[in-house]
């Protein structure tokens, strides 16, 4: 029986799904696939991989799920894993993004410490409509890899193409189907133009590259040593100086930051997979026809949605008249449309996107402009998730800002002070324990306190229900970087 480790690659910022997806809360943490449970793409990916052991004679043990994610997203991952209590996870925290090859290398180095398990690798931001077909295809891949005593086989899922898609790379299969429903891979093809994509579709021999792989940890490390030893050497150096800690029973592993930043940035495909055909490392493809979509643009979200009789996919508070084949999303207010077709309209509390559906890939150009102008809307929503809860900046003007703050039961903000602002706190729900200089006080609904500029303070929720307060800031500078932390439960500076 074989031990299998699910590996979730949970990086990326999903810029083509702005303004809903942002650097501080990217698309993998959003519920975009139209599932009834409201689960995020990340949660769906975790559940899919943890179900692959069912009715399999090959898989003896599903090990801890390995999540490779950004240091800044660790508490988003933890929050969403709490909704999946049956899943045990280990988090590998990258200090910066170095693409998928170093991310997979971290997972392989961790896995190879005790044994040589089979890794099942998937991005965190895809949707699969037919879970049973996915499970069967992955089980075929695992059986294929397990049967190879030479440990040189890499299995990849090839998606049955449904259109001449120009946004995906392709896999060309060759030969006849094998014992595990696999085909040999003749070559990998870059994203084609429309004419070439049409010939690929008509040939029947080309499949979309899903970015989902099955291989042994030792196979990845050996192939990386063969084709990109510089990436392996640099990642090993960072891994050797890793640090470890735990939170809520979940293990955090952090490679050395300075050494990790020196790793060449490269994808799994470019570093290794595309170099394997014709080498000692055999790449085999198992076909997947399961309603796969990588949700790479708003048009893809429309495709996987549940349309009304006019072909519209809506969410939130919307009213439509004479509207067809459009995607309308409301986050915070009523969005109404009259006499439109084939549009994408995405409303959030601080930004609205209107785009032609066929041009939705070009949303990235707006994100580039936001970055060039150093606008905060690129990175954060008005409502910002924090490890202790969230805050929502509801109003601001010259020398003042108003926030609504929620603190989880038992959670606490850092012990901190501000050089440039004072704060007024009003409790609107729950009980607040407030450290204000040398005093520690309890406040309940409709009670308030004042935090002078420069005063050391802390807000905590000692209760069993969420605490909500209204914070009014006043001062000469109200930026989030005016925080000096003295103590913090979450390891922040």
Contact 192, 166 (CB under 8 A): yes
Start-end ranges of CATH 3.90.550.10 in the chain?
A: 2-293
Please give the CATH topology (third level) of the domain spanning 383-487: Jelly Rolls (2.60.120)
What residues form DSSP beta bridges with 73? none
Higher pLDDT, 208 or 492: 208
Percent of the chain with pLDDT over 70: 98
Of the two residues 85 and 247, the one the predictor is more confident about is 85
The predicted pLDDT at position 457 comes to 98
**Tens digit of each residue's pLDDT (9 = 90 or more) over 92-108:** 999 999 999 999 999 99
282-292 burial, b at 16+ Cβ within 10 Å, e below that, comes to: bbbbbbbebbb
pLDDT at 292: 95
Q: How far apart are CA 107 and CA 95, in angstroms?
A: 15
Find, among 183, 225, 222, 224, the residue nearest to 205 by Cα. 183
- Cα–Cα distance for residue pair 75/9, rounded to 1 Å: 16
Residues with Cβ within 8 Å of residue 79, at least 6 apart in sequence: 385
- In the chain, which residues fall in CATH 2.60.120.10? 383-487
pLDDT for the residue 60: 67
Characterise 145 by phi-psi region: left (phi > 0), alpha (psi -120 to 50), beta (else): alpha
**Whole-number mean pLDDT of the chain?**
94
pLDDT tier, 409 (very low <50, low <70, confident <90, very high otherwise) = very high
What is residue 218's predicted lDDT score, i.e. its pLDDT?
A: 96
Domain 2-293: assigned CATH number: 3.90.550.10
pLDDT attached to residue 94: 96
Mean pLDDT over 29-44 rounds to: 84
Q: Looking at the predicted structure, is the pLDDT value of residue 195 above 80?
A: yes
Give residue 482's pLDDT: 94
pLDDT band at 57 (very low <50, low <70, confident <90, very high): low
Tokens linked to 157: 């899922």
Write down the pLDDT at residue 244.
Answer: 92
Contact 409, 434 (CB under 8 A): no
Taking only the tens place, the pLDDT of each residue in 205-243 is 999 999 999 999 999 999 999 999 999 999 999 999 999
| Strand ranges in 292-420 using DSSP code E only, listed in sequence order | 292-293, 313-315, 318-321, 327-330, 335-338, 343-347, 352-356, 383-386, 389-397, 400-407, 415-417
Q: What is the pLDDT of residues 119-176, one digit of tens each?
A: 999 999 999 999 999 999 999 999 999 999 999 999 999 999 999 999 899 999 999 9
Both tokens assigned to 295? 């949700």
Extended strands (E) in 26-169: 59-62, 65-70, 89-94, 118-123, 127-128, 153-159
Cα–Cα distances in Å, from 470 out to 6, 401, 419, 445, 481?
42, 11, 21, 11, 20
Question: What average pLDDT does the segment 352-366 reach?
Answer: 95
Residue environment code for 374-403, b if the CB has 16+ CB neighbours within 10 A, otherwise e: eeebbbbbbbbbbbbbbbebeeeeeeebeb
pLDDT given at position 35 = 62
pLDDT recorded at residue 258: 97
């Amino acid at each position: 029986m074989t031990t299998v480790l699910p590996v979730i690659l949970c990086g990326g910022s999903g810029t083509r799904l702005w303004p809903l997806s942002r650097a501080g809360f990217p698309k993998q943490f959003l519920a975009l696939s139209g599932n009834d449970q409201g689960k995020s793409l990340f949660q769906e990916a975790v559940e899919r991989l943890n179900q692959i052991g069912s009715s399999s004679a090959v898989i003896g043990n599903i090990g801890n799920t390995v999540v490779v994610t950004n240091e800044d997203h660790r508490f988003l991952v933890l929050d969403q894993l709490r909704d999946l209590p049956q899943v045990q996870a280990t988090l590998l925290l990258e200090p910066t993004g170095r693409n998928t090859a170093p991310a997979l290398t971290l997972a392989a180095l961790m896995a190879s410490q005790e044994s040589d398990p089979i890794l099942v690798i998937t991005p965190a931001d895809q949707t699969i409509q037919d879970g049973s077909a996915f499970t069967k295809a992955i089980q075929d891949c695992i059986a294929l890899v397990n049967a190879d005593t030479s440990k040189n086989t890499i299995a990849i899922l090839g998606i049955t193409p449904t259109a001449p898609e120009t946004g995906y790379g392709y896999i060309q299969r060759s030969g006849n189907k094998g014992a595990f429903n696999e085909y040999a891979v003749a070559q990998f093809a870059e994203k084609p133009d429309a004419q070439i994509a049409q010939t690929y579709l008509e040939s029947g021999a080309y499949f979309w590259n899903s970015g989902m792989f099955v291989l042994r940890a030792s196979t990845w490390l050996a192939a990386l040593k063969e084709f990109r030893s510089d990436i392996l050497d640099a990642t090993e150096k960072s891994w050797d100086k890793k640090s470890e800690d735990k939170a809520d029973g979940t293990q955090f592993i952090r490679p050395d930051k300075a050494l990790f930043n020196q790793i060449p940035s490269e994808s799994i495909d470019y570093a290794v997979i595309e170099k394997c055909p014709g080498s000692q490392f055999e790449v085999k493809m198992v076909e997947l026809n399961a309603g796969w979509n990588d949700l790479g643009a708003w048009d893809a979200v429309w495709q996987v949605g549940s349309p009304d009789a006019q072909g519209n996919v809506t969410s939130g508070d919307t009213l439509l008249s004479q509207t067809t084949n459009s995607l309308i999303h409301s986050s915070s207010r009523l969005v109404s449309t009259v006499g439109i077709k084939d549009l994408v309209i995405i409303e959030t509390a601080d930004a609205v996107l209107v785009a032609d559906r066929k041009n939705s890939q070009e949303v990235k150009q707006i994100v580039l402009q936001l970055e060039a102008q150093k606008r905060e809307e690129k990175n954060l929503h008005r409502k910002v998730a924090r490890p202790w809860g969230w805050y929502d900046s509801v109003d601001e003007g010259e020398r003042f800002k108003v926030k609504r703050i929620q603190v989880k039961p038992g959670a606490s903000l850092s012990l901190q002070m501000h050089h440039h602002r004072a704060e007024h706190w009003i409790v609107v729900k729950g009980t607040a324990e407030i450290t204000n200089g040398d005093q520690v006080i309890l406040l309940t609904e409709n009670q308030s306190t004042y935090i002078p500029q420069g005063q050391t303070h802390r807000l905590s929720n000692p209760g069993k229900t969420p605490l909500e307060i209204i914070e009014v800031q006043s001062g000469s500078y109200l930026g989030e970087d005016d925080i000096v932390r003295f103590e913090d439960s979450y390891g922040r500076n």
